[in-house]
Amino acid sequence: MTLTYRVASAALLILAIILIKRHLDHVQDDSRVQPFWQISSPAPASADSPANEFVPETPVIPDNTPAKQDAPPAAPESYHDRARPGVGGLRTKPGDRKVLSKKPEYETTPIIVPNDRTIVMAKMSWEDTSWVSNDLNEWRNVIYTVDDPFAPRHTPINKGRESLAYLQYIVEHYHDLPATIIFLHSHKDGWPQAWHTDTLSYSNVESVRSLQIDFVQKNGFANLRCQESPGCPDEIQPFRNPPRPGKTAEKVYAQAWEELHNNTDVPEVVAAPCCSQFAVSRGQVLQRPKSDYERYYNWVLTTDLPDDLSARVMEYSWHIIFGQNAVYCPDTFQCYQDVYGSAYFW
């Protein structure tokens, strides 16, 4: 028991010594520099500043030491000296005081997101897409509001679902495209709105973060969905007779093809995993002239097809527009390996 008391007493003594030393250091620091802020009536406005502009009072530091008349020239100040009051960055007035410079210098690092990757998105005015900037801030984003002509960035009308926004971006930025572009839906995650996103939580954030940029650059196009259904192996057969019940896009695809591509080389079968979320490289976009994208854009804008049908035609045209075969149904596991870096991504 006596040993315990001795150990406790020694611990208390050491703690007391530490506290006393900190107090003495604080007192010594205060005795060297004691800045304070004085509040007084505002200085008269200069010709270069507005009359009502608030001008903060200049901090004043008392100097109780007499000015030295024959002091040698001071050495050039370093950045660290300028940042420490009482050492550098001071003006000396013979007689009584030193005044801090009104414009101290600071080192700044600009925050710049390189123009090498961009997410393009269409949204309704009521949708919250702040998650794109918050969770994918290493990507620039260009988000078009499709149902509000007064929004800062918008499409002329709400038509073709995401198609008009996707094409408007390409037309507007054809000569200033980033290296990689992701065309993405406005939902972040969850069922049922993101049922077609190939992650365990149906998360577009996880999908984008896992995207293999090297593959996009090599292949030119990457569908963000690898699951074959719906879409593969033969979603659209324009000349099927009679057309499959319910496949209304199939009935209009041949005519839409001719209007979109200015030719009659309509494929017998068109297939790809759904659902209009994909990544492309700048090089692949530039394989077509700007006039092609302007024609696609005007088709979506002016076609008499209803919104869902024009969007469905474009859904099964994107892979063809960006250089893939009419039937683009890669093996699911190989797709996961190529697009997301793991054959067992989902």
- Report the alpha-carbon distance of residue 145 to residue 87 in Å, rounded: 55
- The CATH number covering residue 327 comes to 3.90.550
Over residues 111-126, the mean pLDDT reads: 85
| 13, pLDDT greater than 90 | no
| 306, pLDDT greater than 50 | yes
Taken in order 297, 303, 308, 309, the sign of the CA dihedral is negative
Q: What is the pLDDT of residue 24?
A: 63
For residue 166, being part of any structural domain is answered with yes
Q: How far apart are the first and last CA of the chain?
A: 64
- Report the alpha-carbon distance of residue 195 to residue 187 in Å, rounded: 10
Over residues 42-47, the mean pLDDT reads: 42
Q: Which residue has the higher pLDDT, 87 or 287?
A: 287
Q: What is the pLDDT of residue 242?
A: 85
Residue range(s) defining the domain that contains residue 140: 117-226+274-340
| 309, pLDDT greater than 90 | yes
Q: What is the pLDDT of residue 43?
A: 41
State how many domains the chain has.
1
| 337, pLDDT greater than 70 | yes
Q: Which residue has the higher pLDDT, 198 or 29?
A: 198
Q: Which residue has the higher pLDDT, 72 or 36?
A: 72
Q: Is 231 left (phi over 0), alpha (psi -120 to 50) or beta?
A: left
For residue 35, being part of any structural domain is answered with no
Read off the pLDDT of residues 253-301 as tens digits, 9 standing for 90 and up. Answer: 999 999 999 999 999 999 999 999 999 999 999 999 999 999 999 999 9
For residue 102, being part of any structural domain is answered with no
Q: What percent of the chain has pLDDT over 90?
A: 60
For residue 55, being part of any structural domain is answered with no
Side-chain half-sphere of 43: how many Cα atoms within 13 Å?
8
Q: What is the pLDDT of residue 127?
A: 96
For residue 249, being part of any structural domain is answered with no
| 236, pLDDT greater than 70 | yes
pLDDT band at 67 (very low <50, low <70, confident <90, very high): very low
pLDDT band at 5 (very low <50, low <70, confident <90, very high): low
Q: What is the pLDDT of residue 47?
A: 41
| 55, pLDDT greater than 60 | no
Q: Which residue has the higher pLDDT, 315 or 14?
A: 315
Over residues 156-171, the mean pLDDT reads: 97
Report whether 84 contacts 104 (CB < 8 A). no
108-112, 162-166, 203-207, range with the lowest pLDDT: 108-112
Beta strand segments in the chain, E? 60-62, 90-92, 97-100, 117-123, 140-145, 180-184, 221-223, 278-281
Q: What is the pLDDT of residue 113?
A: 58
Neighbours of 232 (CB within 10 A): 17
Report whether 216 contacts 279 (CB < 8 A). yes
Q: Which residue has the higher pLDDT, 269 or 111?
A: 269
For residue 316, being part of any structural domain is answered with yes
Average pLDDT across the chain, whole number: 80
